[in-house]
Structure 1
Amino acid sequence: MTRSVVAISPDEIHSRLPAALDGSGPALLPGGPESFTGPLGVGEDSDDDPTAVVVATSGSTGEPKGVLLSANALLSSAELTLNRLGGPGQWILATPARYIGGIQVLVRSLLAGIHPVCMDLEAGFRVPDFVAAVSAVLDTPGRHYTALVPTQLARIVTSTEGLEALRALDGIVMGGAPLSAELRSAAGDAPLVSAYGMSETASGCVYDGVPLDGVSVRIVDGLVALSGPTLARGYRGRPDLTAASFVDGWFITSDLGKLVDGRLEILGRADDMINTGGVKVPASAVERLLEQHVSAACVVGLDHPEWGQIVAAAVVGAADLDKLRTLVRAELGAAAVPKVFRVVEELPLRGPGKVDRAAVRHYLS
């Protein structure tokens, strides 16, 4: 019998996950285009390993893709993560359950047999609510965990109560976006674990640069490639994209990276390189420098008739733009200095902690 994908609200996913994982229920789409629903096609399901969840990726540009995640991929990711963190425990669900980070908190909770404490995110993430959630899980014996994105952590570390709550936990998985050295330092001795991964790998599969057991990493033409039991089946209704990205058991990412003594270092996205007047400027390098002096930054390339592209930047927080230009020139060279520079109240997001670069580019154009 052909199984189907059904759209559900993120609030329903916890109660419906068990049936999706054992194949007795349909695959779940906890938010995303209606076009992802309906019968699963050839190669999109398996009797031995049912497709359990379809996650709609937000994508920095272009239309969303539906990532087909099997029960084995989700359960493998959860089990390997719990092993790395030190064993099962109670989780705080602090990110939306429509995204892979939130979904994995629920899968890890199912494996542990302990119901998570779910924060009410209807009005957004609030530090007092997080502190209350930590207090609630600490009433349960055993280990206590949560998963956050850097935007949430940046709010928590400004609060004494928030910092105390962080330090009371046994593990905090940081995903969604890179964790800066400055933010890690601000968190002090809180047990942060920087996770690298994506929907296509059923959440983070490289923790603090070290792959989870059974996960392999290699660099292919400068790009990070990942393999192991956590890989997705491919993309819903897009065998062409699946064939291009999932090659011989490896998922080829769009991230530039290198391996140093067996540890993975992410250098930025392949598409974040700005070619201005023949000089290639990595947007991520400019962002890292700016974020040493402002709350947040997004750097993009804008088309220009003379230079081909120019560097443009949006920053959050009080900023002396002339001083920032001087710093960039001194550290990264004249070509890296933003020719368009604006201060904004906040950066637009396209997912938990992920900046919407297309929106920033449109705003700066």
Structure 2
Amino acid sequence: MNIDPALKALSAALAGTGPAVEIAPDGTPGPVTSAGLAPETAAVVRTSGSTGTPKATMLGIDALAASSMATAMRLQGEGQWLLTLSPNYVAGLQVLVRSLYAGTRPWVMDLSAGFTPEAFTTAAGELTDRFRLVSLVPTQLHRLLTDPSPQTVQVLRRFDTILLGGARMSDDLRVAARKHSLRIVRTYGMSETCGGCVYDGVPLDGVQLRLDAGRISIGGDVLASGYLDNPELTDAHFSTGPDKDGTAGRWFLTEDLGEMHDGVLTVSGRADDVLITGGVKISAAAVAAAVETVPGVETALVAGVEDPEWGTRVGAAVVGPADDELICRTVREALGPAAVPRILVRLDALPLLANGKPDRLAVARALREAG
């Protein structure tokens, strides 16, 4: 992938001397000239569409600058980034943005054959800056740490920070990363917040958090301007209200549920991940976490399947050879009988979107077909 055209177009957009850009999956930039474009928009990023129709999110110059500066401050430095994700998604775009602000050139991993440990190891070994950074999703890190070669472990350890976001980090993956002394920083954010804005549960400088009926709201300068040509959806998620100092600020209402303890955020799942089966509320994320504690389970994704008797049946897509009875017994002991998966589907691997996140819609279809 040649990212020079994208870097050039993005640099002009951030400087206000060129039009807003949208970058294609192959790295090709294109101008955005819609009449509904917010004036300061530098880039338009489409959401992954993991649970619905993709949305075109408008990211402003000031928002991207605030995100880049806050990231550098939290990581205590700027350096060379390795691009392992398509730049049409916010995590990949931010590698380009942060590189531009840092005055460094990102190195691009060869993704022509998909994400492989061999291609990652080669690309990571070609970085030249003393301070090295990379953004990964858990699926990528899992592949890298499954029977890793000494060379792969060596290049992973060479990164000053490995940002890990886009999905939940399993306990097994956390143990594997700790075993190899990797410097992992778990991130939370989305396209509407210029990507990750909460690191290891703590918001970046200038970012504020609050809970609205259990749902996470995010405020601060990193917020997007809204959704391109969709004012109704913009109004549904973006609002103006008092910040912690009592002054007016903008807020984005996420689809995620969370808890705050001593200023540290814990994301407990998506609001639409709460399944009601037989009148009992079940957290799909909690069920998946319990399933992943079973020996032989590599990963799992849980979703609800409509049922005329129960309202919703709990379904689980599982990767790994673990025994079905052991999976059900483990979930029952951890969460109670209502949480036990009534539908179990075995997959060789979870279907993924282009950004490395699990394709929840595809898994839900597989569970419905099996049920």
Q: Same fold (TM over 0.5)?
A: yes
Map of 2:282 onto structure 1? 281
Between the aligned partners of 1:57 and 1:13, the Cα distance in structure 2 is 19
1:254-275 CA distances to partner (integer Å, 9 max, x unpaired)? 1000101110000100000111
> What is the Cα deviation at residue 37 of structure 1?
7.4
Between the aligned partners of 2:55 and 2:287, the Cα distance in structure 1 is 29
The amino acid across from 2:198 in the alignment is V
The amino acid across from 1:24 in the alignment is T
Between the aligned partners of 2:110 and 2:92, the Cα distance in structure 1 is 13
The yes-or-no answer on 1:342 pairing with 2:359 is no
Kindly report which structure 2 residues correspond to 1:185-224, keeping only aligned pairs within 5 A, or say none: 185-188=175-178, 189-224=181-216
Between the aligned partners of 1:193 and 1:109, the Cα distance in structure 2 is 19
Q: Secondary structure at the match of 1:39?
A: coil
Pick one of 37, 57, 64 that aligns with 1:67: 57
Task: Note if contact 2:21-2:32 (Cα within 8 Å) is conserved in structure 1.
Answer: no
CA RMSD of aligned residues (A): 1.7
Q: Note closer, same or farther for the CA distance 1:11–1:278 as it changes in structure 2 (3 Å cut).
A: farther
Kindly report which structure 2 residues correspond to 1:1-365, keeping only aligned pairs within 5 A, or say none: 12-31=5-24, 39-42=33-36, 44-46=37-39, 50-137=40-127, 139-140=128-129, 142-158=130-146, 159=148, 160-188=150-178, 189-248=181-240, 249-293=250-294, 294-365=297-368
Between the aligned partners of 2:5 and 2:327, the Cα distance in structure 1 is 47
Q: TM-score, normalised by structure 1?
A: 0.92
> What is the Cα deviation at residue 168 of structure 1?
1.2
1:207-247 CA distances to partner (integer Å, 9 max, x unpaired)? 00000001000111110000111100000101111011001
> What is the Cα deviation at residue 45 of structure 1?
2.2
For structure 1, which runs of at least 5 residues remain unmatched after alignment? 1-8
Between the aligned partners of 1:118 and 1:125, the Cα distance in structure 2 is 12
1:163-221 CA distances to partner (integer Å, 9 max, x unpaired)? 22211110011111122232121012200000000000001000000000010001111
Task: Note if contact 1:296-1:316 (Cα within 8 Å) is conserved in structure 2.
Answer: yes
Q: Note closer, same or farther for the CA distance 1:178–1:133 as it changes in structure 2 (3 Å cut).
A: same
Task: Note if contact 1:311-1:340 (Cα within 8 Å) is conserved in structure 2.
Answer: yes
1:55-83 CA distances to partner (integer Å, 9 max, x unpaired)? 11122333211000011111211111111
Task: Note if contact 1:222-1:258 (Cα within 8 Å) is conserved in structure 2.
Answer: yes
Task: Note if contact 2:24-2:87 (Cα within 8 Å) is conserved in structure 1.
Answer: no
Map of 1:5 onto structure 2? none
The amino acid across from 1:20 in the alignment is A
> What is the Cα deviation at residue 288 of structure 1?
0.8
The amino acid across from 1:304 in the alignment is D
Between the aligned partners of 2:176 and 2:231, the Cα distance in structure 1 is 44
> What is the Cα deviation at residue 353 of structure 1?
3.0
The amino acid across from 1:113 in the alignment is G
Between the aligned partners of 1:61 and 1:194, the Cα distance in structure 2 is 22
Between the aligned partners of 1:328 and 1:287, the Cα distance in structure 2 is 9
Q: Secondary structure at the match of 2:18?
A: coil
Percent identity (aligned): 46
Q: Secondary structure at the match of 1:111?
A: helix
> What is the Cα deviation at residue 351 of structure 1?
4.1
Between the aligned partners of 1:13 and 1:321, the Cα distance in structure 2 is 48
The amino acid across from 2:189 in the alignment is G
For structure 2, which runs of at least 5 residues remain unmatched after alignment? 241-249
Between the aligned partners of 2:227 and 2:259, the Cα distance in structure 1 is 27
Q: Secondary structure at the match of 2:312?
A: strand
Between the aligned partners of 2:359 and 2:270, the Cα distance in structure 1 is 14
> What is the Cα deviation at residue 10 of structure 1?
7.2
> What is the Cα deviation at residue 350 of structure 1?
2.6
Task: Note if contact 1:76-1:229 (Cα within 8 Å) is conserved in structure 2.
Answer: yes
Task: Note if contact 1:279-1:335 (Cα within 8 Å) is conserved in structure 2.
Answer: yes
1:277-334 CA distances to partner (integer Å, 9 max, x unpaired)? 0011100001111122311111000000100100001111212111111111111111
Between the aligned partners of 1:37 and 1:145, the Cα distance in structure 2 is 29
Q: Note closer, same or farther for the CA distance 1:271–1:332 as it changes in structure 2 (3 Å cut).
A: same
> What is the Cα deviation at residue 38 of structure 1?
5.4
